A and B are shown apart, each in its own frame.
Chain A
Amino acid sequence: MARMPFITRLAGCILIVAAACVRADVLPDERADVMWKLYEGGGIKVEGPSMLVRTNVSDKVSFTGGYSVDVVTGASIDMIVLGASPMHEVRKQKNFGVDYLYGKTTYSVGFENSIENDYDDTTASAGISQSMFGDLTTVSLSVSRGWDIIQRVINADGEKDPGFRKRSDRKTWGVSVSQILTRNLIGGVDYEAITEQGYLQNPYRAYRYLAAPGSALFLTAPELYPGTHTSNAASVRLKYYLPWRASLTGKYRYFFDTWDVRAHTAELDYTQPLVHDSLIADFTYRYYRQNSASFYSDLFAYANQFNYMARDRELAAQNNTTMGVALSYDLVKSQHWFIKKATVGLHYDYIAYHYLDFRDASQHQYPAGSEPLYRYDASVVQVLGSIWF
């Protein structure tokens, strides 16, 4: 069968769902959010502002726009091992989207662009969401296409290697079903497939190998990655209303990909209103674990041992645990001038990363391959302000 163009397949999906029974629905709330966030851990500090605005121009059309800046400083374990100087780089991300509501169907298109001095990522997305069965069920379909350009900075002044310009393309397909199950229980299932093709590795990262058979020393060489990657993620979630006006949420995600990584993510969230409903507290516990990719090794026996060789700790066997607390306080609870509601929030997450086959190669007092396993803790702080108008 001849392959249909991407846009034709998307249009087909949209038309089929648009044939559903039609009654009026409502667009999401108009609101503006600003946030300052900080990530600090593993020798890296990332901080900067973000904003997101949603406004409705009628009862059928809604626009969203967002802008975010990440200032990245420090030196990761990979950079220390390779003797690279600490970095200072800026990532700027902007996104824009339109939602169109027709009856019970919401059509969405979006555009996102993220720019670093050596990385340019552009993503276009489209989706459709249909409410049905007396609004008990909402089915959403989404597709996106991404185009990345990867370059390589060769000195501290930010000068780029003129002979190095790589590309990678990405496609995603997602389906999501949200379901009202009882008067106290809602649930959902999600599935997303991602295919990537092109230059998928980090141009600076290296694998390491023994300097000679039986040697206590190691040498490094640029990583070698496959040119394709397909991944699948399926998740299930449930949220239950507790008798004392609080909620408990459970989530589980299973992930598998063509690089032989299998990952499990489990999360438990508890939400509790306090202080006469002016303050909402959220508590989060998240556990994640994965095995290593088929072409990953902490220490290869010799250079060019295999066709594909990586020492990216993102591909190493690892588990991590996140514990978070979030507080949100209502500053304005009823209409005041043009503001319907306003809140401020403070979120803190602590993440402990444990690697099971990635060693701390910066500790040169140990023979290669005998260094302690690498582990580190990270803190994520978010300060938020939101208004509904």
Chain B
Amino acid sequence: MRAMPLAFALLALLALSGCGQLQPWVKPYERERLADRVMAWDRDPLSTGYIEHVHANREDAKGGTGSTGGGCGCN
């Protein structure tokens, strides 16, 4: 686990190494459909956070979906 921040830093460096060189293959004027609200990852953050809390408190698997913290309320 100690190597985790270093791994993040390396990943960030790799990701940024091509910055300014790679040309976007989907131009801004071609993103009309992607800007439509039906394509939003999370339209209701309050609802998404709650349903993830419901699942996380009844399953061993946690994380990897962007939510952290919070008590249980689930004895």
- Report A-chain residues with C-beta under 8 Å of the C-beta of B20: 21
Is there contact, CB below 8 Å, between B68 and A79? Answer: no
- Report B-chain residues with C-beta under 8 Å of the C-beta of A191: 64
Is there contact, CB below 8 Å, between B24 and A136? Answer: yes
Give the CA-CA distance A72 to B74 in the complex, in Å.
8
Chain A interface size, under 10 / 10 to 19 / 20 to 34 / 35 or more: 35 or more
Give the CA-CA distance A135 to B22 in the complex, in Å.
11
- Report A-chain residues with C-beta under 8 Å of the C-beta of B60: 231, 255, 257, 259, 261, 263, 290, 293, 314-315
- Report A-chain residues with C-beta under 8 Å of the C-beta of B4: 173, 193
Partner of A146, one of B26, B46, B58, B69: B69
Is there contact, CB below 8 Å, between A116 and B44? Answer: no
- Report B-chain residues with C-beta under 8 Å of the C-beta of A377: none
> Given known contacts A37-B50, A78-B75, is B64 in contact with A183 (CB within 8 Å)?
no
Partner of A133, one of B18, B39, B63, B73: B18
Partner of B12, one of A17, A76, A322, A345: A17
> Given known contacts A195-B1, A241-B34, is B23 in contact with A134 (CB within 8 Å)?
yes
Quick one: closest A residue to B4, CB to CB?
A: A173
Q: Does residue A16 face the partner (Cβ distance < 8 Å to B)?
A: yes
Partner of A186, one of B23, B34, B68: B34
Partner of B44, one of A10, A137, A193, A345: A345
- Report B-chain residues with C-beta under 8 Å of the C-beta of A169: none
Is there contact, CB below 8 Å, between B69 and A144? Answer: yes
Is there contact, CB below 8 Å, between A119 and B72? Answer: yes
Give the CA-CA distance A21 to B24 in the complex, in Å.
14
The 8 closest A-B pairs by CB, nearest first: A233-B64, A134-B24, A123-B69, A114-B71, A192-B63, A255-B61, A9-B5, A263-B61
CB neighbors of B among A1-52 (8 A): 3-4, 9-10, 12-13, 16-17, 19-21, 33, 35, 37, 39, 44, 46, 50-52
Q: A172-B63, A380-B54, A382-B51 are in contact. List 17 more A-B contacts (CB 8 A).
A: A3-B2, A16-B12, A33-B44, A79-B75, A119-B71, A121-B71, A125-B69, A132-B15, A134-B28, A136-B24, A178-B41, A183-B33, A190-B65, A231-B60, A239-B41, A253-B65, A255-B61
